[in-house]
Structure 1
Amino acid sequence: MTSLRVMLIGDARMAFPVAKALNQAGHRVFAGVSTSSNYLEWSRHVSGAFRHSPLEPGTDEALPVILNWLDRHPVDVIQPVSEAGSRFITRHRAAFEARARLIMPEAETVETCMNKTAMFALCETLGVALAPHRRVQDMAGLQAAAATIGYPLIVKPAVVDAELFGRKALIIADAAQLADAMPHWPDIHPELIVQKYVAGPRHSVIFSADRGRLLGAVEIKAARTHEYDGTGYTTYGVTVDPTPLVREGVEKLVAHLAYSSTGCAQFIVCPTTGEVTFMEINPRVSLGRISECAGLPHSVWGLKLATGQPVAAPADPWAVYRRGVRYVWTKGDLTLLINQVKRAQVAPGAALRRLTQIGIDALQCAHAIFDPLDPLPALGTYSNILIKRWRRHPEYQPGWVPVSGAPTPGPVRSDPDWTRSPARG
């Protein structure tokens, strides 16, 4: 494959395995970074970086800075590598498509996947496993849906990656908890989904597909998340054999959507009853570290799909990956434990046992960010409380726009021409 210049948009944990895989494949990776970048600019797999204001919480202050950089330093391909990055490119897709090819599904596919109401209707049409649910637009509808579905239930936004009172979803045990958790209707949500709660871990399927043909897939069971009720981001996961209903659901949805690119389909699987329910499809890269370690080269496949190059995929897309590969996001585990200790939500003995297990997992698992051959980003992340003041540059601040004719923000870890020799990895 010809060496290409790739720009990563969004600087979350998902960026690190993508940068590593593409750099090792001989490509030159560039990135915009903000104060929440997890020190992506320190990675040896990033050829150059520049600063911009954060993409969260859904603002567009960074747009003129990023477009200005792209106009001055053209790239071949652009890839979103975070929730905020995906939403950001979706809002300004035409501007980015005018400058490079995108590693993401077609606009229509992204729009459908990010609409949970549309996806739930599609699941019902295709016969994909789905727990009973209701769409509601106000508190009266919410109360009626709760009475019909029964408790326990889960309340979630109708839009993928949106939050509800600061959470990805609310798990409600009874009417009293519903009144406490939702004292009023959240004005930012015109619609919510109320659904029967299926108890069990989240199973994420990381996949690559070409016009509805599944190329490769990895099923990952999330044993722990960064929220106490399991609704947050995965902090400990393991690759498992494909669950029949999950496999069937992914294949049906990918085929119907004529999906092309990488993605992440999520289901809940009850370990006692075997009940399965669809959650969502995130039309972006996710859990990249564990899928790459398990043998799915989805970062390179995504690049090939975006540039029209053939992908040599196996006959059975589910035979690609290794089972039993473990992944850990140690900082997420530690942050949850610290917060629970502060709130007296965990006994000292239990806290010590969990801390011990976190330490064991840190030694034995693939990490979200840490790589022994690329250690600086992880060192920066864990030292952030001491060095974050170094990031107080004006170009990080909302509303910062480069002066016309003036140079863009200086490169971070980059040669004067914003490049470095390819394939540093």
Structure 2
Amino acid sequence: MSRFETRPAPSVLLVGDARMAFPVARALDKAGAQVFAGVSVSSNYLEWSRHLAGSFRHPPLEPGTDEALPVILDWLDQRGGVTAIQPVSEAGSRLMSRHRSAFQARGRLIMPEAVTVAACMDKTGLFRLCERLGVALAPFRRVTGLAEARAAARALGFPVIVKPSVVDAELFGRKALIVPDEPRLAALMPAWPEIHPELIVQRYVTGPRHSVIFTADRGRLLGAVEIRAARTHEHDGTGYTTYGVTVAPTPRVREGVERLVRALDYSSTGCAQFVVDPRSGDLTFMEINPRVSLARIAEHAGLPHSVWGLELALGRRIAGWTDPWSARTDVRYVWTKGDLNLMMKRFADGAVGPVEAARKLARIGLDAATCVHAIFDPLDPAPAIGVYANRWIKRYRDHAEYDPAWARTRFPEAFEAAAPLRDAA
């Protein structure tokens, strides 16, 4: 049954190619909304999802570029607009923030207010806010040059982590640099990365990343779920989560999220991240992503934040949960392709031998059979087929006359096998 009683049904455009788009599209479609998406060569074959009412192609949403903007706006204008527009990636969020007025003129925005987004994207400023609020935070320094970075690392004491502050771009090919000592700092960061006007050097806290997926309304927490990342797509624990599990809220994490949400007067969906050392109990705040994140596992844990995000954008009041932290625990999530890519890279580099590689493959296979998946859905198998068959079909998706329906003729057995499941749904 549709959750939305209005006619016509609300329509939503998803902006961004991240894996987070899949569960958002599914949840909104099942709630009765029409879901559309702009896609590029980085889309993970989102355009093949049965939960989309339509899609169009645009240039990649690379950090700091606006090449996709006129294509997206033209699609909105040609269609006559949509009810709401939602970023589902970091690049999508930044694009919409840079051109907020243009998007607002064409639909409601499923994202926090402009001042909240700006505060979350300014990591130095957010760290200062954590200090004022008493949110757990490892000592840090803001630096704007190489000599300053090296001096900050020495002052804080190794190991440290070096990460971007205001620009959404990689740092020497990584999201962040974990630096054990001064010689390693010189090797990892031989020069100042010109794309970054400033960086953050922070004392490194050992432990897994804990992500809190939440929805809030004007500073009031509606619902939240804490997810511990047991594995990521980088061997040092940085990068994107490839295996995670929902856990009971860590007291100081819970306290920190509630203080930040209240102080920011946060409305919409978001993701707050901490690092928690399971042995010492030491922890530190990392960041808040002012957008949907890890939606697949959050939805399976009972948090309907994709639908809540749309309802908040439409101006509706959401009662939320009596206990905002009552999501289901021990729900497990896996991004199998990320696990496989890391294992193969480590094996090729000689860091993992044949015996250990076989053991890791067995673990990856078991997790793939028993966990919630980032992309794969037996009721919507086409995108996962595209991802794993990409090396053979990429030439088609890059072709000017590429037709997504081609997959149904190229892989008829997979679609036939999934037909009973789709019909039952």
User: For the superposition of Structure 1 and Structure 2, which TM-score range results when normalised by the shorter chain?
Assistant: over 0.9
RCO comparison, higher one (Cα < 8 Å, 6+):
1
Contact map agreement 1:155 1:171 (CA 8 A) in 2:
yes
- Aligned-pair identity (%): 69
How far residue 326 of structure 1 moved from its aligned partner, in angstroms, is 0.1
2:372 paired residue number: 366
How far residue 312 of structure 1 moved from its aligned partner, in angstroms, is 2.8
How far residue 394 of structure 1 moved from its aligned partner, in angstroms, is 4.6
Task: Tell me, in whole angstroms, the C-alpha distance in 1 between the residues paired with 2:16 and 2:210.
Answer: 24
1:64 paired residue number: 70
Question: What does 1:395-410 correspond to in 2, within 5 Å?
Answer: none
The alignment yields a C-alpha RMSD, in angstroms, of: 1.7
Structure 1 residue corresponding to 2:169, chosen from 162, 167, 170: 162
TM-score by length of 1: 0.92
Structure 2 residue corresponding to 1:24, chosen from 16, 22, 30: 30
Alpha-carbon spacing, 1:191–1:27, altered in 2? closer, same or farther (3 Å): same
Task: Tell me, in whole angstroms, the C-alpha distance in 2 between the residues paired with 1:64 and 1:393.
Answer: 21
Secondary structure at the counterpart of residue 317 of structure 1 = coil
How far residue 64 of structure 1 moved from its aligned partner, in angstroms, is 1.2
Letter in 1 for 2:20: M
Mean alpha-carbon deviation: is it higher for 218-227 or for 132-141?
Answer: 132-141
Secondary structure at the counterpart of residue 351 of structure 2 = coil
Secondary structure at the counterpart of residue 286 of structure 2 = strand
Contact map agreement 1:41 1:412 (CA 8 A) in 2:
no
How far residue 393 of structure 1 moved from its aligned partner, in angstroms, is 3.6
Structure 1 residue corresponding to 2:357, chosen from 341, 351, 355: 351
Structure 2 residue corresponding to 1:151, chosen from 141, 158, 166: 158
Letter in 1 for 2:361: L
Task: Tell me, in whole angstroms, the C-alpha distance in 2 between the residues paired with 1:80 and 1:68.
Answer: 17
Task: Tell me, in whole angstroms, the C-alpha distance in 2 between the residues paired with 1:395 and 1:17.
Answer: 28
1:173 paired residue number: 180
Letter in 2 for 1:360: L
Structure 2 residue corresponding to 1:52, chosen from 55, 58, 61: 58
Secondary structure at the counterpart of residue 278 of structure 1 = strand
Contact map agreement 1:48 1:411 (CA 8 A) in 2:
no
- Say whether residues 1:258 and 2:269 are aligned partners: no
Once the two structures are superposed, residues 215-271 of structure 1 have per-residue CA deviations (whole angstroms, 9 ceiling, x without a partner) of 000000000000010101000000000000100000000000000000000000001
Mean alpha-carbon deviation: is it higher for 78-87 or for 250-259?
Answer: 78-87
Task: Tell me, in whole angstroms, the C-alpha distance in 2 between the residues paired with 1:52 and 1:285.
Answer: 21
Task: Tell me, in whole angstroms, the C-alpha distance in 2 between the residues paired with 1:160 and 1:31.
Answer: 25
Task: Tell me, in whole angstroms, the C-alpha distance in 2 between the residues paired with 1:160 and 1:149.
Answer: 23
2:207 paired residue number: 200
Alpha-carbon spacing, 1:395–1:252, altered in 2? closer, same or farther (3 Å): farther
Secondary structure at the counterpart of residue 316 of structure 1 = coil
Structure 2 residues not aligned, in runs of 5+: 407-421
How far residue 36 of structure 1 moved from its aligned partner, in angstroms, is 1.0
Letter in 2 for 1:244: P
Letter in 1 for 2:84: V
- Say whether residues 1:381 and 2:366 are aligned partners: no
Letter in 2 for 1:174: D
Segments of 4+ moved more than 4 angstroms: 410-413
How far residue 395 of structure 1 moved from its aligned partner, in angstroms, is 9.4
Contact map agreement 1:198 1:269 (CA 8 A) in 2:
yes
Structure 2 residue corresponding to 1:89, chosen from 85, 96, 100: 96
Task: Tell me, in whole angstroms, the C-alpha distance in 2 between the residues paired with 1:136 and 1:203.
Answer: 26
